[in-house]
Structure 1
Amino acid sequence: MVDFDVVELGEADNPEVGETAPDFTRPLVNEEFWENASLSDVTDEGATLLVFYTMDGGFPATYIWNELRERGWDDDNDLRIVGLSISTPYEHKTLIEEREMAYRLFSDPANEVADAYGISYDMDGMAGISEPRPAVFLLDEDRTVEYAWVATEWPDFPEYDEIERAIEER
């Protein structure tokens, strides 16, 4: 059994349902290559589930992406699923290959996007290092938030059944 402390993350100041999610441009990685893309480039294609997660090497990333792959929401709905973490494009490429993921991942090593979304937290014991707290935003084509979940502690995982209901109700 893994032994770790639960960490309270405090208040977040994230975009809420009905608000417009901040746009950003970062490298967007897929199984073949990466290129700069904006969130609005993705949402222009249709509804998007934006998933913030901790770095690629941590167990939360594995759990979250395995669950999303198993649920297949992007297969059953007109939905794009994209992730975002502080991991580099090279680390994202490895995660995509190892997990056999069909998802695209934004790379934000400076954690500036999480800052803009009000969901950044300083990693305990690591001076100058922050990452996004786990968070999920369901966005329409105009980046309007239709569903939002943000972790209040680490580790914490989304309520997948709630996300599924939000997707089905769109």
Structure 2
Amino acid sequence: MMDFDVVDLPETDHVDEGDVAPDFVRPLVNDEYWEDAALSDVTDDGPTLLVFHPMDGAFPATYVWNEVRDRGWTDDLTVVGLSISSPYEHKAFIEDRGIDARLFSDPKATVAVEYGIAHDLDGMTGVTEPRPAVYLLDADRTVEYAWVAAEWPDFPPYDEVEDAIEGI
């Protein structure tokens, strides 16, 4: 059994359903290379699932991406992730975990701050990462579905996310 404490996260005024998700430009990483890309460039291709996750290597990130892969969501729509991990770490994480999605790199967590989901890590002074969150966006970046963690660790309600994907 894993030894960790569940931590309640404070209330937050985060991006929510009906809002237009803020656009941003960050390195977008796949299993071969990375390049700067805007979220709006990704959503222009149609519905997009934006998955904020803890840094690569943290067990919640592995669990989330295993679930995304096992449910085949990348077959149904564009799925992208975002964490504070570097492009080098993302590339290795994608290869090691067999992730069929691209991951945005946001080492300073400025996107998490803009989305209202920044989380200062206990015992790691100066380290901020996004709390786990899932946003289903339409082509205009309107949030059709939003889930944001209320505690750490917390995992998306996968069946609910899947229902939202099927409904778009």
TM range (shorter): over 0.9
* Residues 17-67 of structure 1 deviation map (CA, whole Å, 9 limit, x = unaligned): 111000000000001100000100100011000000000010001100000
- Partner SS, residue 27 of structure 2: strand
Runs of at least 5 residues in structure 1 that lack an aligned partner in the other structure? none
User: In structure 2, how many angstroms separate the alpha carbons of the residues matched to 1:49 and 1:71?
Assistant: 13
* Residues 57-101 of structure 1 deviation map (CA, whole Å, 9 limit, x = unaligned): 1000110000000000221x2x10000000000000000000111
- Partner SS, residue 28 of structure 1: strand
User: In structure 2, how many angstroms separate the alpha carbons of the residues matched to 1:16 and 1:100?
Assistant: 30
Match of 2:155 in 1: 157
Instruction: Give me the identity figure in percent.
Output: 68
* Residues 113-147 of structure 1 deviation map (CA, whole Å, 9 limit, x = unaligned): 00000000110011111100000000000000000
Where does structure 1 differ by over 4 angstroms across 4 or more consecutive aligned residues?
none
Counterpart of 2:121 (choices 123, 143, 150) is 123
Instruction: Read off the aligned partner of 2:95 and give its amino acid letter.
Output: E
Match of 2:45 in 1: 45
User: In structure 2, how many angstroms separate the alpha carbons of the residues matched to 1:66 and 1:82?
Assistant: 14
Superposition RMSD in Å: 0.6
Q: What TM-score, normalized to structure 1? A: 0.97
- For residues 70-85 of structure 1, the aligned pairs below 5 Å read 70-75=70-75, 77=76, 79-85=77-83
Instruction: Read off the aligned partner of 2:27 and give its amino acid letter.
Output: P
Match of 1:108 in 2: 106
Matched, 1:11 2:11: yes
The 8 Å contact of residues 53 and 130 in structure 2, kept in 1 or not, is answered as yes
User: In structure 2, how many angstroms separate the alpha carbons of the residues matched to 1:12 and 1:50?
Assistant: 18
Matched, 1:25 2:25: yes
Report how many residues are paired: 168
The 8 Å contact of residues 6 and 153 in structure 2, kept in 1 or not, is answered as yes
User: In structure 1, how many angstroms separate the alpha carbons of the residues matched to 2:27 and 2:80?
Assistant: 12
Counterpart of 1:96 (choices 94, 97, 115) is 94
Instruction: Read off the aligned partner of 1:140 and give its amino acid letter.
Output: D
